[in-house]
Structure 1
Amino acid sequence: MNRTSNQRPAVFLDKDGTLLENIPYNVDPAKMRFAPGAGEALELLARSPFRLVVVSNQGGVAHGRFAQEALHGVERQLRRMFERCGATLDAACWCPHDPAGHVMPYASACLCRKPQPGMLLRAGRELRLDLTRSWMVGDILNDVEAGNRAGCRSVLVDCGNETEWQSAPRRLPYAIVANLYEATQMIVERHAYESRGPRAMCETVLR
């Protein structure tokens, strides 16, 4: 498929532990706080051509911890937080499923719960994204695998939340960084470098 002018790349962001402080099952907007470096990352992304999409497993719905409707308030607060950084949240995608849950119909397997790539693929279709130029940033290897399966490059924020390291091709990150700001710096610099085109890149190598 030919790349068209309205196919933009995206940065997909995991919510808890990557973008926000990790408070398990939190849907209270008053308790939502940026993780270290996240606010600065959004300020940098606001000046980039990337569309910004949050993709988050929210199995608390399947476990009866909160109703799916509570995520509307979470999304509204995220939009306000992005706006304060000069950025725009283009979409928030939630997966309410968990096979280990007990609330039907959410206590079931699905194609959207990371490491499945369903949320990224759906956002790609709906927002007309170029997934091959897009990035997934998360704090566990399920995020990395979801991004890789969707055809993106994936970055792991190693903040201590990954506890089940597995060496498998689909779970190998493009890079491992300390926080979202460090990931964003690398993504923006890499995009600028690649946007210069093959000839410019060759001239850089030859210098």
Structure 2
Amino acid sequence: MSAPPTYSVVVPTIGRPSLRIMLDALLESIGKAAGPGPAEILLVDDRPRPGAPLPLPDGAGDTVRVLRSGGRGPAAARNTGWRAASGEWVVFLDDDVVPSPEWAADLAADLTFLPATAAGTQGRVRVPPPLGRRPTDWERNTAGLEAAAWITADMAYRRQALEAAGGFDERFRRAFREDADLALRVSALGHRLVQGTRRITHPVRPAGFWVSVRMQAGNADDALMKRVHGPDWRVRAHEHHGRFGRHAVTTAAALLTLAAYPARRRPAGRAVLLGSAAVWTALTAEFAAARIRPGPRTFDEVARMLVTSVVIPPVAVRHRIRGTLAHRRAEPWGPRPVVLFDRDDTLIRDVPYNGDPAKVEPMPGARRALDRLRARGIRVGVISNQSGVAKGCITDDDVRRVNARVEELLGPFEVWEFCPHDAADGCGCRKPAPGLIERAAVRLGVHPRDCVVIGDIGGDVEAAAAAGARGILVPTRRTLRAEVRSAREVAPDLETAVELVLAAPARRDGRGRGAAR
């Protein structure tokens, strides 16, 4: 038997107590398996701001590492995790599942015996039923995970397939549809997705009175799925068709009833009012009955079903309209470039050898430009020469404090690389050498040719050319005229530079794509 391929485990989390239970079960399972364990377990903390330390088990050791993704949702958190992973396979687990004691051994068997055409394997999910009674509406919804296809509660992908597909679509900000979207794109590349033998348990989380109403936000995600995958996406993703059509008719009947009410004293108005009210009542009653009938039929559950069955249809329609408008021009997700910015006089005004975070001042339009890239799922980083460290004017810690202030003002960056050397040191990282770009690319799991470098002096674009990356010059008063003349691409400001990136995001030939002068 050949040795099983290497794998990494990625767990996005917001620090729920269930994380500790999941990790305890995972580590126990790994300890029982005869073969090698994961290359690493990457916990991706997706809280918008650092909170209390994550509840790590005692003895987690160096196997467990914590990354931060800045509160951008589970799709972005999973991307942060797999791009930092070193295994041939990346296994995604949710932070509220419980792997079986045999999970790690079964995973090794799943990966070892997969055909070469398979790029993904799904674990088997069990949702424990309630004891001594029928399940509630929320419990039945959770139990649907047992039959769901390609859900990331336990889903493993070849790293190469993730790279080819561009990872998860970060426009899905909730834990909904991002897994089906990725599965469709991986399948479209000619790969197979298969069912594995390993098992996890997915307990039912506590939920409040309005949980079913909040879930209707998923209708906006369905609009994105239809836009990028076509009207038959549900069939290909093994998804049921749902009730949205009836919700739309119910909502239309309710609106017509309200519109006809002022004319109720006229025969025609009364007829419309009575007809539309009858349709609304019948559809609402049918919806409530369909939810009440299989449930426990307690007073609380019946009351919840009656109230939410009235509210759900218009909320679902509102979210679908919102999603349709928001994603009307959406294109299919794919590999995104990485944009690496120079820091001083590109993102923030240059203060020579600055070690004081209070002196940080963003360049005009910097936040808007960065947010446009982030909204498109394009990762951003910073590469900066900091010769003041070699000169003794500032320390490494001073640079890091200033960088932290830059993130406070301009948002998170996925990678920071700076060169602490002086020109006379002869290092390979000080721009115009390519070292900073190459190091950033390695950390982000991309090739330098997939990077775009934006800076304000010739050294920035020369470093890009040396690394095989694309370079865009944004001149300032200190930029030499000769540097502007020799640059392949020049933009008058950061926002125009970002327009150039969005207009031609991918490049494979090491050449520029034009100039905006």
Alignment of 1:1-207 (within 5 A): 4=164, 5=166, 8-83=336-411, 88-100=412-424, 108-163=425-480, 165=482, 172-191=486-505
Output the CA distance in 2 between the equivalents of 1:149 and 1:54.
Answer: 17
Contact 1:21 1:32 in 2 (8 A): yes
Question: 1:165, 1:149 → 2: CA distance?
Answer: 18
User: Could you say what secondary structure the match of 1:124 adopts?
Assistant: helix
Percent sequence identity over matched residues? 34
- Residue 175 of structure 2 corresponds to none
Farther-moved stretch of structure 1 (17-26 vs 3-12): 3-12
Contact 1:12 1:52 in 2 (8 A): yes
Question: Is the 1:11–1:53 Cα contact (8 Å) retained in structure 2?
Answer: yes
SS of the equivalent of 1:43 reads helix
Q: Match of 2:490, SS?
A: strand
Any conservation in 2 of the 1:9–1:49 contact (CA below 8 Å)? no
Instruction: Kindly state the Cα deviation for residue 8 of structure 1 after the two structures are TM-superposed.
Output: 4.5
Q: TM-score, normalised by structure 1?
A: 0.78
Deviation at 1:16, TM superposition (A): 0.6
| CA contact 2:441–2:451 (8 Å) conserved in 1 | no
Letter in 1 for 2:474: V
For the residue of structure 1 that corresponds to 2:477, the secondary structure is: coil
Report SS of the residue matched to 2:367.
helix
Q: Does the 8 Å CA contact 2:374/2:380 hold for their aligned counterparts?
A: no
Aligned AA (2:489): A
Q: Deviations over 1:95-125 (max 9, x none)?
A: 000044xxxxxxx210000000101101111
Output the CA distance in 2 between the equivalents of 1:22 and 1:80. Answer: 17
Q: Secondary structure at the match of 2:389?
A: coil
Name whichever structure is richer in helix by fraction: 2
Whether the aligned pair in 2 keeps the contact of 1:99 and 1:109 (CA below 8 Å) is: yes
Alpha-carbon distance in structure 1 between the residues aligned to 2:421 and 2:480: 22
Question: Aligned to 1:176, what secondary structure does the other structure show?
Answer: coil
Q: In structure 1, what is the Cα distance between the partners aligned to 2:461 and 2:379?
A: 19
| Higher RCO (C-alpha under 8 Å, 6+ residues apart) | 1
Residue 82 of structure 1: how far off its partner (Å): 2.6
Contact 1:9-1:130 at 8 Å conserved across structures: no
Q: Quick one: which amino acid aligns to residue 131 of structure 1?
A: P
User: Which stretches in structure 2 are left out of the alignment for 5+ residues?
Assistant: 1-159, 168-334, 508-517
Deviations 1:147-185 (A, max 9, x none): 111111100011122237269xxx943311111111011
Change in CA separation of 1:138 and 1:90 when aligned onto 2, cut-off 3 Å: same
CA contact (8 A) 2:342 2:383 kept: yes
Describe the SS at the equivalent of 1:94. Answer: strand
Equivalents in 2 of 1:35, 1:18: separation in Å?
A: 7
Q: CA deviation at 1:133?
A: 2.8
User: Alpha carbons of 1:39 and 1:180: their partners in 2 closer, same or farther (altered >3 Å)?
Assistant: same
Aligned partners of 1:147 and 1:123: how far apart in 2?
12
> What CA distance in whole angstroms lies between the structure 2 residues aligned with 1:172 and 1:152?
16
Give, in whole Å, the separation in 2 of the partners of 1:70 and 1:185. Answer: 33
The residue type paired with residue 442 of structure 2 is: R
Bigger drift between 60-69 and 126-135 goes to: 126-135
Question: After superposition, what is the alpha-carbon deviation per residue over 1:56-110, rounded to whole angstroms, capped at 9, x for unaligned?
Answer: 0000011111112211212211221232xxxx3001111000044xxxxxxx210
Question: What SS does the aligned partner of 1:46 have?
Answer: helix
Larger Rg: 2
Distance 1:29 1:36 in 2: 18
CA distance in structure 1 between the partners assigned to 2:376 and 2:467 by the alignment? 22
Give ranges in structure 1 of 5+ residues lacking alignment. 101-107, 196-207
How many residues align? The count is 178
